[in-house]
Amino acid sequence: MDLRQLEAEPTAEEREAIDARLGDDPARDGTHFAAGFGRSRRHLLLPALQAAQARVGFISEGAFGYVCKRLEVPPADAHGVATFYALLSLEPRPPRVLHVCDDIACRCRGANELIADLERTTGDENGAAWLRSPCLGLCDQAPAAFLTVAGQSPAERLFGPVTAEQARAALAGDTLPEMRRQRLPQAGGPSLRLLKRVGVVDPGSLDDYLAHGGYLALRRAFELGAEGVIREVLDSKLTGRGGAAFPTGRKWEAVARQPARPRYLICNADESEPGTFKDRVLMEGDPFAVVESMTICAYATGCEQGFVYVRGEYPLAVERLQGAIDAARARGLLGGDLMGRGVRFDVEIRKGAGAYICGEETAIFNSIEGFRGEPRNKPPFPVESGLFGKPTVVNNVETLVNVLGIVLEGGAAYARIGTPQSTGPKLFCVCGCVERPGVYEVAFGATLRDLLALAGGVAGDRKPQAILLGGAAGAFVRGDELDIPLTFEGARAAGVTLGSGVVMVFDDSVDLPSVLLRIAAFFRDESCGQCVPCRVGTVRQEEALLRIVTGRPRGSTTAELALLDEIGRAMKDASICGLGQTAYGAIESAARRLRLFEEGKLR
């Protein structure tokens, strides 16, 4: 593609797909309260590119040039954006693409064998291709796959557990694989708070949601008033469930105090941390709860426009959320006059396109604004200057859903759940070598042992070798450290982190060095490349690890380990964002805590 001279025209179907997406701009038809957009339509760049690719399978030169022209974005600039996202392709691709997960939880459940089979048995299929993928957020139904079919409806399917036969059938286009069933080990459990409606309520019916207590919390919020809601959230001591554990009430208070308008709310549903799938379960199973809790947050903080930024590999979550948004709007529960109270708030979904870094809160701003999803320097913090330079609340899906109970029961009552420093219920994504992988809700304070018991223990009665807490950005503990309490303070005391709630179990048959190599490759792939410590450090880290694991160190293993430490320290101290700062955590814990690289430990 010669970016200085884009001469190709889009085909009629590409033009139609792009026009439909660009015409469908809520900022223009009055349902979108986003004055901060100004006159620029650049924020539609990613949706327009996604629309073109969904129609024909890739972004052709004609489609690319047409999008650039319509949005007045220089082609060189737009090229930088299009090439940033793994799910977008500027190269011709067949219409049918199967993304097969080869990440660590799926490897515990046969992903390597599945991929070896596909390598053996598939060749140049007509109109189809398969690619390896990082974690698809379906680790409870591993091994997982994500199918995209250009020009069809539905155009995307996430499914699992997938067999080689099913993968070949999906590639051949004989049938679209059946949508998987939700795996909900605790469905209908009496003590559930966050998951109480999941698997019980009809996610497509607003009436059913209302019959199960829906929208009582918003009513109560209006009675409390905006300041009253924030007071309850402060009293609850709720902390963010997206990984950073920041106090939610303080964030809301800070946005509510800002003089600038408009203010924005982003529900962070990017969920791409390997091993994490709790937000998917909430969005698919109880989508109205996400919309209602966003509405309460918006009311309390004075945000008039909300976005749900959902990872691109979650088509069912997108479909159900869109259904919930449309139904809520049709009944006056979103729009210009919520419940007749004169309050305005509306929500738009934005889909990610295969970039882990876009879960970082400031990277989301750039992604929605139509730029590469690169994190911004902080300060300024999002509460002052976030999306479109305006005050912005960013909260994780699970954090927001907690607010429903807080508003209904009161912050003080909520704070009595869990421990004094880690209040409330918590969702954990238990996966890997366990009998019943899934999302489990427990009160903070349960131990690893309790959680493992809920999940039926290690599969096949094997011994736990190690447990990865917090995902790739987290750390390993040994298989005999099951009494660690799953609280922020308990994790801190044990020198680990809960992160986004991943509990990934590896039994004694798993080859941990290959798991570490996969984690190192993940960070190397996902680094946005903006800052040197992370861009170079993640590459050097992978190289050093590979030398140690293959037994071909340049000097001694001790010297390689010292080098790994040095690289890790540089990434931690000097990286712009959490990706670089955490990229060494799991490897360091394997070296220190599991003593994996000591004499005789490497197989």
Ligand X SMILES: Cc1cc2nc3c(=O)[nH]c(=O)nc-3n(C[C@H](O)[C@H](O)[C@H](O)COP(=O)(O)O)c2cc1C
Q: Which residues contact ligand SF4 (rule: CB under 6 A)?
A: 357, 375, 527-531, 534-535, 575-577, 579-580
Q: Say which entry of ligand SF4, ligand FES, ligand X, none residue 140 contacts (CB below 5 to 8 A, set by partner kind).
A: none
String of contacts with ligand X for each residue 538-577, x by CB under 6 A:
---------------------------------------x
- Smallest CA-to-CA distance from 483 within 521, 436, 527, 451 is with 451
Q: Say which entry of ligand X, ligand SF4, ligand FES, none residue 63 contacts (CB below 5 to 8 A, set by partner kind).
A: none
Quick check: 103 binds ligand FES (CB under 6 A)? Answer: yes
d(CA 382, CA 258): 11
Shortest spacing between CB 84 and ligand SF4, in angstroms: 11
Q: Say which entry of ligand FES, ligand X, ligand SF4, none residue 84 contacts (CB below 5 to 8 A, set by partner kind).
A: none
Residues 6+ apart with CB under 8 A from 597: 548, 557, 561, 590, 591
Cα dihedral 243→245→247→249 (10° resolution): 40
Instruction: Decide if 502 contacts 275 (C-beta within 8 A).
Output: yes
For residue 269, give the DSSP letter.
E
Task: Give one DSSP letter per residue of 7-74, joined into a string.
Answer: -PPPPHHHHHHHHHHHH--HHHHTS---GGGTT--GGGHHHHHHHHHHHHSS--HHHHHHHHHHHT--
Shortest spacing between CB 583 and ligand SF4, in angstroms: 8
**Nearer to ligand X by C-beta: 364 or 510?**
364
Quick check: 101 binds ligand FES (CB under 6 A)? Answer: yes
Q: Say which entry of ligand FES, ligand X, ligand SF4, none residue 255 contacts (CB below 5 to 8 A, set by partner kind).
A: none
Give the three-class secondary structure for 349: strand
Shortest spacing between CB 438 and ligand FES, in angstroms: 13
Sign of CA dihedral 138, 139, 140, 145: positive
Q: Please name the helix (run of DSSP H) or strand (run of DSSP E) that holds residue 145, with its range, or none.
A: strand 145-149
- Phi and psi at 166, nearest 5°, equal -65, -40
ω before 190 within 30° of 0 (cis)?
no
d(CA 104, CA 473): 13
**Nearer to ligand X by C-beta: 128 or 136?**
136
**Nearer to ligand SF4 by C-beta: 196 or 524?**
524
Q: Say which entry of ligand FES, ligand SF4, ligand X, none residue 139 contacts (CB below 5 to 8 A, set by partner kind).
A: ligand FES
Shortest spacing between CB 531 and ligand X, in angstroms: 13
**Nearer to ligand SF4 by C-beta: 10 or 243?**
243
Shortest spacing between CB 352 and ligand SF4, in angstroms: 15
**Nearer to ligand X by C-beta: 114 or 397?**
397
Which parts of 395-454 interact with ligand X (CB under 6 A)? 395-396, 399
Could you tell me whether strands 438-443 and 145-149 are parallel, antiparallel, or unpaired per DSSP bridges?
A: unpaired
- Smallest CA-to-CA distance from 101 within 93, 113, 90 is with 113
Give the three-class secondary structure for 78: helix
Which residues are 350's β-sheet partners? 309
In whole angstroms, what separates CA 545 from the centre of its chain?
Answer: 27
User: Distance from first CA to last CA of the chain, Å, rounded?
Assistant: 47
Shortest spacing between CB 321 and ligand FES, in angstroms: 20
> Near ligand FES by CB under 6 A, which window of 84-92, 96-104, 189-197, 433-441?
96-104
Q: Say which entry of ligand X, ligand FES, ligand SF4, none residue 580 contacts (CB below 5 to 8 A, set by partner kind).
A: ligand SF4
Q: Please pick, from the candidates 144, 224, 349, 446, the single residue that binds ligand FES as defined by CB under 6 A.
A: 144
Q: Say which entry of ligand X, ligand SF4, ligand FES, none residue 534 contacts (CB below 5 to 8 A, set by partner kind).
A: ligand SF4
Quick check: 236 binds ligand X (CB under 6 A)? Answer: no
Q: Say which entry of ligand FES, ligand X, ligand SF4, none residue 300 contacts (CB below 5 to 8 A, set by partner kind).
A: none
Shortest spacing between CB 528 and ligand SF4, in angstroms: 3
Q: Say which entry of ligand SF4, ligand X, ligand FES, none residue 531 contacts (CB below 5 to 8 A, set by partner kind).
A: ligand SF4
d(CA 409, CA 221): 11
> Near ligand X by CB under 6 A, which window of 109-117, 293-301, 355-363, 403-411?
355-363
Shortest spacing between CB 540 and ligand FES, in angstroms: 25
Q: Find the DSSP H helices in 201-247.
A: 206-211, 216-236
Shortest spacing between CB 240 and ligand X, in angstroms: 2
d(CA 508, CA 485): 23
Residue 375 half-sphere exposure toward CB, CA atoms < 13 A: 23
| Binding-site size, ligand FES (CB under 6 A) | 13
Quick check: 470 binds ligand X (CB under 6 A)? Answer: no
Q: Please pick, from the candidates 232, 360, 374, 507, the single residue that binds ligand X as defined by CB under 6 A.
A: 360
Quick check: 272 binds ligand X (CB under 6 A)? Answer: yes
Shortest spacing between CB 272 and ligand SF4, in angstroms: 12
- Smallest CA-to-CA distance from 436 within 421, 426, 420, 451 is with 451
Quick check: 243 binds ligand X (CB under 6 A)? Answer: yes
Give the three-class secondary structure for 147: strand
String of contacts with ligand FES for each residue 331-360, x by CB under 6 A:
------------------------------
CA distances from 567 to 304, 477, 544, 574, 587 (A): 44, 22, 10, 11, 12
Quick check: 246 binds ligand X (CB under 6 A)? Answer: yes
d(CA 213, CA 79): 47
Quick check: 142 binds ligand FES (CB under 6 A)? Answer: yes
The 10 Å Cβ neighbour count of residue 461 is: 8
Residues at the interface with ligand FES (CB under 6 A)? 101, 103-106, 135-139, 142, 144, 274
Residues at the interface with ligand X (CB under 6 A)? 240-244, 246, 268, 270-273, 356-357, 359-361, 394-396, 399, 577-579
